[in-house]
Amino acid sequence: MSKSVIIAVDAMGGDNSPNKVIAGISEYLKKNTDVYFRIFGIKNSIDEEIIKNHLKKDFYEIIECNEVVSNNDTPLTAAKKKNTSMWQSINDVKEKNSNVVVSAGNTGALFVISKLSMNMIENISKPALAALWPNKIDMNIVLDLGANVECDEKNFEDFAIMGSALHKALFPSDDSRVALLNIGSEEIKGHETIKKAYQNMENKKNELFKFCGYIEGNHIMDGNVNVIVTDGFTGNIALKTAEGTANFISTELKKALSDGFVAKLSSLANISNLKKFKKRLDPRLYNGAILLGLESPVIKSHGSTDYIGFANSLDVCVKTVEGQLIDKIKKNIIN
């Protein structure tokens, strides 16, 4: 085996697994064959899907695990079950057998087990959950999206560095431009913690990114910045609001364009533009949240995504490794 990236895969997490997991691996291998998969889970179930998808033995091995973390398990309950596909796949990265781990399983369990199994990067006190978020020009990195309810100014500074390192790993030709999500763009707006973070980031220049001040929620998608920093409480609400809005627009547009002869005729005339618009709102294209701050990257695929979405999370895995995400964070983190 000589592959550039080795991915530890929790094959049993999320809806319709291991079906979508193995199908996602097969889909990803259509565009990149320089990857090897260490697949963790119930062997008989995995074997069935491998046969269906004609997966070649050159690209994988199966590590059997007798237990599975369910969506109903609490994080602490899941952490006590050491032979689950989730725990074993995370531990595989800790033991340096794999470069990165991906799971579509229980989010809380994934984060707790990851923190218990792996060390934090030196000088980082809290991890952050980051994800891709489309803007008018290209793509944003937004963090934290739920790992930390409360943050201090140092956490915000760390998040800016981690988010920018991720941005450079995923989009190496783009400059990273950081903004703090706030209730206004003026320096006097916001709570004391975010004001302190603003002053610190304004005064401490970092070669990894350009600090662009504050950004309000209604400008997240403008494309003027591409790394947006906030606490996990605010970030999670912003994310869920954006997801709900995108779903509402897609549903209502589909309804409007199928209501009556004239609407159908209009939709046929604009079919190309409508397909482009729908693709921009497709959440599968942005699948693959990243838990940052640990010694190795942990990728969280959405539990309800299909095999296309899971394949896209594998693309995120490869880019974080090839883009030397962890090295970039370590080099730039503030003491």
Give CA–CA dist 183/187, Å, rounded.
11
Per-residue model confidence as pLDDT tens digits over 278-296: 555 566 776 778 999 999 9
Report whether pLDDT(190) > 90: no
| pLDDT for the residue numbered 135 | 86
Tell me how far apart the alpha carbons of residues 23 and 95 are, in angstroms, rounded to a whole number: 27
pLDDT at residue number 2: 64
Supply 229's token pair: 């920093």
d(CA 335, CA 332): 9
Average pLDDT over residues 269-281: 56
Between 188 and 198, the more confident residue is 198
pLDDT, residue 213, reads 94
| Mean pLDDT confidence for 294-306 | 92
DSSP at 97: S
**pLDDT over 90, % of the chain:** 67
Between 83 and 250, the more confident residue is: 83
Q: From CA 149, how far away is CA 316, in angstroms rounded? A: 25
Residue 272: HSE in the Cβ half-sphere, 13 Å Cα cutoff: 1
Read off the pLDDT of each residue in 226-244 and give the average, rounded to a whole number: 88
pTM, 2 dp: 0.87
Q: What is the pLDDT of residue 273?
A: 56
Cis peptide before 18 (omega within 30 of 0): yes
Q: Which pLDDT score, from 0 to 100, does residue 188 have?
A: 76
Q: Which of 53-57, 181-185, 314-318 has the lowest mean pLDDT?
A: 181-185
pLDDT band at 330 (very low <50, low <70, confident <90, very high): very high
Of 282 and 236, the structure prediction assigns the larger pLDDT to 236
Task: Give the Cα-Cα-Cα angle 298, 299, 305 (nearest 5 degrees).
Answer: 155
* Interval 65-77: pLDDT, tens: 989 999 888 999 9
In this prediction, residue 257 carries a pLDDT of: 62
pLDDT band at 260 (very low <50, low <70, confident <90, very high): low
Boundaries of every domain in the chain? 1-119, 125-292
Homologous superfamily of 125-292 in CATH?
Answer: Isopropylmalate Dehydrogenase (3.40.718.10)
What integer is the mean pLDDT of 142-157? Answer: 92
CB neighbour list of residue 9: distance below 8 Å, 6 or more residues apart? 21, 25, 37, 38, 39, 40, 89, 101, 102, 103
**Distance between first and last Cα of the chain:** 39
Cross-strand partners of 63: 40
pLDDT on residue 164: 96
Cα distance between residue 243 and residue 289, in whole Å? 14
Architecture of domain 1-119: 3-Layer(aba) Sandwich (3.40)
Between these two residues, 302 and 9, which has the higher pLDDT value? 9
Residue 229, classed as helix, strand or coil, is strand
141, exposed or middle or buried, with CB in 10 Å at 0-12, 13-18, 19+? Answer: buried
Residue 192 in contact with residue 239, Cβ under 8 Å? no
Choose from 112-116, 188-192, 283-287 the range with maximum mean pLDDT.
112-116
Q: Does the pLDDT value for residue 271 go beyond 60?
A: no
The SS3 assignment for 27 reads helix
Average pLDDT, the chain: 88
Q: Does residue 322 register a pLDDT over 90? A: yes
Predicted pLDDT at 272: 59
Task: Find the radius of gyration of the CA atoms of the chain.
Answer: 21
180 closest CA partner among 225, 233, 243: 225
Instruction: Give 244-253 pLDDT, tens digit per residue.
Output: 877 787 777 6
Tokens (6 digits) for 193: 């913690």
Over residues 193-211, the mean pLDDT reads 91
The pLDDT score that the predictor gives to residue 137 is 86
